[in-house]
């Protein structure tokens, strides 16, 4: 609690240092005119940005109109404020004194009236825990929203698919990934997640459709780590040990040499290479003797 109060006092002092000097300083002639011109330039830039956001569809018509009116109001207020300030020759010392006294007092009163004093104790610093039931309820609400508007939000389907996958509901995860297939097919990360969910929904095998998705992910990004892991696993599963080792060797180059992951992967590569050599020795010789 003491640390918080010290930090709050420092923030108040810094705020006062920023607020008081302009009020105590005598303004030079033409300063207000310069400020008005600068503000006008700023407002022009903000208006141009607002126009661009509206043209790109980031803002609705209502939000655009409201934001435009707000900019105009602020510009008029600044213009009027500049005229009024130009008529005042003396610095606002009374205002500075009032702010210097009122700001710390008002901050303290507001916090002790509305703040959470017990929250300053270390025990209250722990983040709130989310229960499994709350997570399930949130996922259920997302699923209901997506079912009502299935074509409106592909990213929503992806979020739902990943949520189902994290919960171990792999069949539902694969259905959700399928709803966002266009988006999934353009992202190696999503393709890999989809392949893994499909494999887990069918007992863990990467044969068939999962392997096709992994191959597409590597086509988009030949060095994507998760796809290399699964591609090597799929090759190992179909007893193509040389190909499995090749995929994992590409991944090994991306890992820190002394890491546990690198050591574990090196062991898998050695095993795959040994099995590949054993396979090659078992293959019958081809061709005829002279």
Number of folded domains that form the chain: 2
Euclidean distance between CA atoms 97 and 103, whole angstroms: 10
| Residue-level pLDDT at 32 | 47
175-189 pLDDT tens trace: 999 999 999 999 999
| Residue tagged 């008002």 (tokens) | 106
pLDDT at 282: 79
Q: Phi/psi of residue 183, each to 5°?
A: -70, -40
Name which of 196, 239, 202 is nearest 214 in CA terms: 196
Is residue 286 domain-resident?
Answer: no
Residue 99 located in a structural domain: yes
Residues 288, 290: Cα–Cα separation, whole Å? 6
Contact 194, 174 (CB under 8 A): yes
Q: Are residues 55 and 112 in the same domain?
A: yes
pLDDT tens-digit series, residues 201-254: 988 899 999 999 999 999 999 999 999 999 999 999 999 999 999 999 999 999
% of the chain residues with pLDDT over 70: 58
The token duo for 214 is 């992994």
Domain carrying residue 139: 132-281
Q: State the pTM of this model.
A: 0.56
pLDDT band at 46 (very low <50, low <70, confident <90, very high): confident
Instruction: Please state, as a whole number, how many other Cβ atoms lie within 10 Å of the Cβ of residue 31.
Output: 14
pLDDT score, position 83:
47
**DSSP state letter for 118:** G
CA atoms of 221 and 212, how far apart (whole Å): 14
Residue 32 CB coordination number (10 Å): 19
CATH number of the domain within which 250 lies: 1.25.40.10
- Strand segments, DSSP code E, in 107-213 are none
Widest pairwise Cα distance in the chain: 114
Q: Which two tokens stand for residue 118?
A: 């017990």
* Interval 84-113: pLDDT, tens: 444 444 555 566 556 655 556 666 666 555
The answer to whether residue 288 is domain-embedded is no
Domain end point (choices 57, 88, 122):
122
Q: Which of 122, 156, 179 is the last residue of a domain?
A: 122
234 close to 211: Cβ distance less than 8 angstroms: yes
- Domain assignment present for residue 48? The answer is yes
- Regarding whether 182 and 66 lie in a shared domain, the answer is no
Q: Please identify which residue in the block is written with the tokens 């007092």.
A: 105
- Contact between 188 and 222 under an 8 Å Cβ cutoff? The reply is no
155 and 274: one domain?
yes
Question: What confidence tens digit (pLDDT) does each residue in 229-244 have?
Answer: 999 999 999 999 999 9
**7 and 44 inside one domain:** yes
Q: How many CA atoms lie within 13 A of 283 on its CB side?
A: 8
């Amino acid at each position: 609690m003491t640390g918080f109060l010290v930090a709050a006092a420092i923030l108040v002092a810094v705020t006062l240092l920023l607020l008081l000097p302009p009020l105590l300083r005598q303004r030079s002639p033409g300063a207000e005119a310069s400020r008005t011109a600068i503000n006008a330039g700023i407002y022009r830039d903000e208006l141009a940005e607002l126009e661009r956001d509206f043209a790109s569809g980031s803002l609705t018509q209502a939000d655009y109109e409201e934001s435009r009116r707000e900019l105009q109001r602020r510009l008029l207020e600044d213009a009027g404020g500049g005229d009024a300030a130009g008529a005042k020759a003396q610095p606002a010392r009374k205002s500075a004194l009032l702010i210097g006294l009122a700001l710390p007092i008002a901050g303290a009163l507001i916090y002790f009236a509305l703040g959470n004093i017990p929250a300053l104790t270390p025990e209250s610093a722990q983040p709130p825990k989310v229960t499994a039931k709350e997570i399930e309820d949130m996922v259920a609400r997302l699923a209901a929203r997506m079912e009502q508007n299935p074509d409106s939000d592909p990213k929503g389907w992806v979020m739902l698919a990943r949520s189902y996958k994290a919960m171990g509901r792999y069949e539902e995860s694969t259905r959700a990934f399928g709803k966002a297939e266009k988006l999934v097919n353009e992202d190696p990360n999503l393709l890999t997640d989809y392949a893994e969910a499909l494999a887990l929904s069918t007992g863990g095998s990467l044969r068939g459709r999962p392997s096709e998705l992994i191959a597409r992910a590597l086509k988009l990004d030949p060095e994507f780590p998760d796809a290399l892991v699964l591609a090597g696993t799929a090759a190992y599963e179909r007893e193509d040990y040389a190909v499995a080792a090749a995929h994992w060797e590409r991944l090994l180059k991306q890992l820190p040499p002394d890491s546990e992951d690198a050591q574990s992967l090196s062991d898998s590569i050695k095993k795959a290479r040994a099995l590949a050599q054993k396979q090659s020795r078992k293959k019958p010789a081809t061709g005829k003797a002279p």
